[in-house]
Amino acid sequence: MKNTVLIPTYRRPLDLSCCLLALQAQTKPAFQVIVVVRDTDTETWQFLSEFDPGTLPLETVTVSVPGVVAALNAGLAAVKGDIVSITDDDAAPHPTWLARISDRFTHDTVIGAVGGRDWIYQHNQLDDGCRQVVGRVQWFGRVIGNHHWGVGEAREVDVLKGVNMSFRTRAIANLRFDERMHGTGAQVHFELAFCLALKRLGWKLIYDPQVRVNHYPAQRFDEDKRQQFHQVAFINAVHNETLGLLEYFSPLQRVVFLVWAMLVGTRDALGLVQWLRLFPSQRSLASRKWLASVEGRWQGFCTWGDMRGIRFLGVSHAEAQRRREEG
């Protein structure tokens, strides 16, 4: 099977160089490598003009809209392989990455997606751990990631991680990443909505810890600063998760999820119980996170409702936003 590798990038030429060098070292050569670059990203364009790809079948795609969703959708339009393998510009796939991915797809035609472990290095220190439960969405809405700690045998999951996920091209022929995701860069949880949409179509998603990439989280140039609290980034992440789950769940599950989310929640999307648990140690920060979580849940619900013609207080969420912008 022919592998296309798709890499969205923005202002990280040194990281991108390491990623491309890792692709040159694959035991199974890539059929096509697509790098999606923002039109205003002069640093990356300068790097690519000087980079010697050797035998790497490198192509570039230009995008003018900010955010990973627009970049990936632009890249998908140029894919020619049987498999499209997506990774980040700050990751370096292991030499057997493409070979193991191809083997998984070849041996089971019902598999629509394959992902694996990303070995995260923070300041040259490996964030190591062992988890058996990876990439699952519990029936009431709690999302369990743990992709960077997953161990054991290959198994079926609900969600893969953006830094290490591959798709059978014909399985996603009619799918694109959801352009309703909020954010101007990372657009956290964008892969959640995409993976659940694929699962809803009946395809299997497989997590294999032996499908590995080294991940060196680099600086972001948007509102999301990874480990630092930013109100807009927090709201955006909760919005995106909420939207993806509401699209996937049955009507009854939606009700259960919204009640659980507001009453309990998680550390990354606080409900009342999580706020009470964190307040003694985080004080005002816990309150800011809780208020941002409530706003994110509401925005996600409104975005989902807009697509179904649901109106709130007599006006759609999109219309209300337009009126606020117009003053």
CATH number at residue 129: 3.90.550.10
165 and 92 in a common domain: yes
In a domain, 221, yes or no: no
**Ramachandran angles phi, psi of 306, nearest 5°:** -60, -40
Name the domain count of the chain: 2
Residues 6+ apart with CB under 8 A from 288: 229, 231
Tell me the whole-structure pTM to 2 decimals.
0.94
Query: How far does CA 156 lie from the centroid of its chain?
Result: 18
177 and 297 in a common domain: no
Gyration radius of the chain's alpha carbons: 20
Question: What pLDDT, on the 0 to 100 scale, is given for residue 227?
Answer: 75
Residues 6+ apart with CB under 8 A from 161: 115, 118, 135, 145, 147, 148, 191
In this structure, how many other beta carbons lie within 10 angstroms of the beta carbon of residue 207?
28
170 and 27 in a common domain: yes
Given pLDDT bands bounded at 50, 70 and 90, which one contains residue 214? Answer: very high
205 and 139 in a common domain: yes
103 and 47 in a common domain: yes
258 and 170 in a common domain: no
150 and 113 in a common domain: yes
Rounded distance between C-alpha atoms, residue 179 and residue 174, angstroms: 14
19 and 130 in a common domain: yes
Full residue range of the structural domain in which residue 266 is found: 231-326
In a domain, 224, yes or no: no
In a domain, 223, yes or no: no
Model pLDDT for residues 43-70, shown as the tens digit of each residue: 999 999 999 999 999 999 999 999 999 9
191 and 131 in a common domain: yes
Are the C-beta atoms of residues 235 and 187 closer than 8 Å to each other?
A: no
178 and 49 in a common domain: yes
Model pLDDT for residues 164-181, shown as the tens digit of each residue: 999 999 999 999 999 999
- Under DSSP, is residue 122 helix (H, G, I), strand (E, B) or coil? strand
Nearest to 219 by CA among 149, 123, 93: 123
Instruction: Look up residue 2 and give its DSSP letter.
Output: P
In a domain, 298, yes or no: yes
195 and 88 in a common domain: yes
In this structure, how many other beta carbons lie within 10 angstroms of the beta carbon of residue 43?
16
In a domain, 72, yes or no: yes
